[in-house]
């Protein structure tokens, strides 16, 4: 009843219908309890409430979900914003980090109206957005679609991790294997992989030291070592 009252205040009938069609009757299955209640995760410190921004959709592709699925967000996503507005009576809302998903919820990019999710969820609550100075383009989307007042910050400088030298011997062994694949060279790669703890990290065999790694396993080792060596 509480959620229904909030949605009637904030959302159009069309938007409510979209949620029902996509996620079933309230509260759906995402972050819902067995007794028909919906979770709004938060930490509350007096007049300040901290909420994680839950996923704006369902599925395994988080990158796609954050950047817009062109579908109505789940009940719990909607409930987080409506709780902040009506349950908590927030005087202001602040998004931390670059970037969230509210500005990528469905519908128009400009001249937002009563069926645009970002407009309906943020409402008239003053909105501040802590946004990296290095992402001006997407900051403009946040300003345009969520009426955000952005506060820029500088990201920390990058520095080489100096791990490349650590993996040089392993890298050389892998390159030798790639030039001329042989069981002997594969065993050299395996010995170094086990010694450096990479086999354990990747779940590769570390017991049968007389059994060479396959080409696919060596490729996994190479990708893993290269990723670490490139860390900053």
Give the span between the Cα atoms of 42 and 46, in whole angstroms: 12
Q: Is residue 183 part of a domain?
A: yes
List Cα–Cα distances, 71 to 74, 117, 143, 217, in angstroms: 9, 10, 21, 39
Last residue of a domain, one of 153, 181, 204: 153
Distance between CA atoms of residues 118 and 179, nearest Å = 55
At 52 the pLDDT is 94
Question: 66 and 117: one domain?
Answer: yes
The reported pLDDT for the residue numbered 231 is 67
Write down the residue that tokens 């719990």 correspond to: 76
Specify whether 8 is located in the same domain as 114: yes
User: What is the tally of helices (H) and strands (E) in the chain?
Assistant: 10, 5
Q: Which two tokens stand for residue 108?
A: 């128009």
Band (pLDDT 50/70/90 cuts) for residue 56 is: confident
Q: Do 91 and 17 share a structural domain?
A: yes
Question: Considering 126, 153, 180, which residue would you say is the last residue of a domain?
Answer: 153
Residue 162, pLDDT score:
66
pTM over 0.85: no
Residues 98 and 183 in one domain: no
Question: What confidence score (pLDDT) does residue 110 get?
Answer: 87
- Regarding whether 128 and 221 lie in a shared domain, the answer is no
Of 122, 153, 184, the last residue of a domain is 153
182 within a domain of the structure (yes/no): yes
In this predicted structure, the answer to whether residue 53 has a pLDDT above a threshold of 70 is yes
Task: Note whether 92 and 142 are same-domain residues.
Answer: yes
- The answer to whether position 13 is within a domain reads yes
Give the tens place of pLDDT for each residue, 160-206.
666 677 788 888 999 999 999 999 999 999 999 999 899 999 999 99
> Given this model, what pLDDT does residue 7 score?
94
**161 located within any domain:** no
Q: So what's the pLDDT on residue 32?
A: 84
* Same domain, yes or no: 130 and 84: yes
Residues 146 and 198 in one domain: no
pLDDT digits (tens, 9 = 90+) for 82-124: 999 999 999 999 999 888 999 999 988 888 989 999 999 999 9
Q: Is the pLDDT of residue 159 over 80?
A: no
pLDDT at 232: 58
pLDDT for residue 11: 95
The residue among 87 and 227 whose pLDDT is bigger is 87
Together in a domain, 134 and 197: no
The pLDDT, as a whole number, for residue 141 is 93
Same domain, yes or no: 128 and 202:
no
Query: Do the strands 127-132 and 149-153 form a parallel or antiparallel pair, or are they unpaired?
Result: parallel
pLDDT of amino acid 205: 93
Q: Are residues 28 and 101 in the same domain?
A: yes
SS3 at position 94: strand
Asked if residue 86 is part of any domain, the answer here is yes
Q: Considering the domain boundaries, does residue 79 fall inside one? A: yes
- Residue 190 · residue 207 · CB < 8 Å: no
B/e letters for 84-108, b = 16+ CB within 10 Å, e = fewer, are: bbbbbebeebebeebbbbbbbbbee
Count of domains observed in the chain: 2
For the chain, percent of residues with pLDDT exceeding 70: 97
Averaged confidence pLDDT in the chain: 90
Among 168, 175, 102, 115, smallest CA distance to 141 is for: 102
Sequential DSSP letters for 112-130: --TT-HHHHHHTTS-EEEE
Q: Is residue 174 assigned to a domain?
A: yes
- Which residue range(s) make up the domain with 27? 2-153
pLDDT recorded at residue 163:
66
What percentage of the chain carries pLDDT values higher than 90?
62
- Decide: helix, strand or coil at residue 151: strand
Alpha-carbon dihedral sign for residues 216, 220, 225, 230: positive
160: in domain = no
Single out the residue of 55, 68, 77 nearest to residue 10, CA to CA. 77
Q: What is the DSSP letter of 87?
A: I
CB 104 within 8 A of CB 142: no
pLDDT at position 18: 93
Q: Are residues 40 and 142 in the same domain?
A: yes
């Amino acid at each position: 009843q509480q959620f229904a009252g909030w949605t009637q205040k904030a959302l159009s009938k069309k938007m409510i219908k979209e949620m029902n069609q996509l996620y079933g009757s309230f509260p759906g299955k995402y972050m819902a309890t067995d007794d028909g209640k919906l979770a709004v995760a938060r930490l509350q410190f007096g007049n300040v409430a901290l909420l994680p921004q839950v996923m704006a959709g369902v599925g395994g592709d988080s990158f796609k979900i954050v950047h817009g699925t062109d579908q109505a967000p789940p009940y719990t996503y909607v409930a987080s914003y409506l709780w902040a507005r009506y349950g908590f009576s927030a005087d202001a809302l602040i998004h931390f980090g670059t970037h969230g998903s509210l500005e990528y919820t469905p519908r128009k990019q400009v001249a937002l109206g009563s069926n645009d999710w970002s407009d309906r969820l943020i409402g008239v609550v003053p909105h501040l957005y802590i946004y990296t100075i290095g992402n001006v383009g997407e900051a403009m989307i946040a300003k345009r679609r969520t009426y955000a007042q952005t506060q820029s910050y500088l990201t920390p400088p990058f520095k080489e991790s100096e791990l490349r030298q650590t993996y040089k011997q392993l890298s050389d062994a892998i390159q030798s294997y790639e030039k001329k694949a042989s069981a002997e060279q594969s065993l050299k790669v395996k010995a170094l992989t086990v010694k450096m703890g990479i086999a354990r990290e990747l779940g590769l065999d570390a017991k049968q030291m007389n059994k060479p790694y396959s080409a696919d396993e060596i490729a996994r080792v190479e990708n893993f070592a290269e990723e670490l060596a490139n860390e900053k």
